[in-house]
Amino acid sequence: MASLPNVYITVNRQGLGYVVSTDDGICGLGLTGVAVVDKLELNKAYAVYTMSDVGDLGITKDGSNSAAYRQIKAFYDIAGEGQKLWFCVSAAGTELDTMYDHTDDSSFIKIIHNASGGEVSAYAAVWTPAPAYVPTILDGVDAVVYGAMNNAQIAATYLQGIIAPAVFVVPGLGYTGVASSLAALNSKSLPQVAGLLAAIDEDGNPAIGTVLGKIARDPVQRKISRVKSGALPLTVGFMTDGTDVSTIEGEVATAFGKGWIVFRKFPTLRGIYFAGDPTSTLETDDLKFICNNRVINKAIRIVYKTYVEEVDDEVIINADGTLDAGVIAYLQGKINNAVNTNMKGEISSFKSSIAAAQNVITQGGTDIDLTIVPVGYNSNINITLGFKNPAL
């Protein structure tokens, strides 16, 4: 049937090249404990949003999984109710380095990654050793800590390769209290792994839930140590040997100087703060902070989502085999818009570059260079203060 003559308009909803924004604060937490009949299974991933969800799984403050409860509670004390958290409980006594071995079928990393579809952007675990366990001290902490850190970096490299990049935090268990004996993490090459010596109580329980809570709550470019964000919900901060950080300022400074994450106090501020968010790599490494890892990891996910549809697509080329100017403009515009839209305020600037001279036919593809200018940080503020005589 013929329609009346008119002007018909269809709105194009794909012209701006938007991509689905990544959820950058989803964390994966590994714990040890015991199963709860008809509620909690070991080596199974669970997604929760509130402490009520946690209680429904049989994890309670005073129950047999009280240690797991404490870590999840520390997470929600900062992240807030409604934030998604993946966690997995392994059998008590499962060693820390095994938990961070993503090739092991019982590893919380493997279990959570598979269950979450790769949406997790930060992983960390807390291990409760068996009662008869005797630590082997190496460079100031239990030797399993360094084994876990090495395994974590292997996992990070693997996950980045399958476009599920994440940063890892490993607790410094078995800390002897002598900071000078610690390994210098800032001389290693584990850029996606951070070592944590901060603890939430005098028993030395690592502040894993606290770190993940900050990561979950804050935008990717924000350091967990940002003072303007306010003090942590703690009245006292400890090292993982149970020592109050306010009584050992020198030891705290030494540990931090070696690249470990620690708690600190400021002379004129109430409360406890993180002293920084270093990862275990050289000072010259672009990924020496957790926040820098989170920025680049978010960019990786956006770039992949933006360009995956272009794989094996036909492109117009010039007579000499080089890319047509229109194709270059399209590819650059698509990624520029995606990154600038989804990372506004999280980076200073973004630039894409496609060399016009490259021969697409002979090289079998297109090379695209992408660069990010990150935000800067006022880690040190240097002030000169003195008197001045106005007559001079």
Sign of the CA dihedral 261, 262, 266, 272? positive
Distance CA(282)–CA(264), nearest Å, equals 23
Residue 4 Ramachandran class (φ > 0 left, ψ -120 to 50 alpha, else beta) = beta
Q: Are 28 and 109 a contacting pair, CB within 8 Å?
A: yes
| pLDDT tens for each residue of 355-369 | 888 887 777 778 888
Q: Which residues, in sequence order, are bridge partners of residue 135?
A: none
By mean pLDDT, which of 109-113, 226-230, 373-377 is the weakest?
373-377
Domains along the sequence of the chain with CATH: 27-295 (3.40.50), 315-392 (no CATH)
By mean pLDDT, which of 2-16, 39-53, 304-318 is the weakest?
2-16
- Per-residue pLDDT at 121 exceeds 90: yes
Task: Share the mean pLDDT of the chain.
Answer: 89
Q: Is 221 helix (H, G, I), strand (E, B) or coil?
A: coil
* Structure token digits, residue 144: 């399993």
DSSP 228: G
Token match 């006292």: residue? 236
DSSP 289: B
- Enter the pTM of the model: 0.89
| pLDDT tens for each residue of 157-199 | 999 999 999 999 999 999 999 999 999 999 999 999 999 999 9
- What's the mean pLDDT in 350-357? 87
- Per-residue pLDDT at 14 exceeds 50: no
pLDDT score of 13 = 43
* Structure token digits, residue 210: 């606290």
Give the closest residue to 200 by CA, choosing from 75, 96, 85: 75
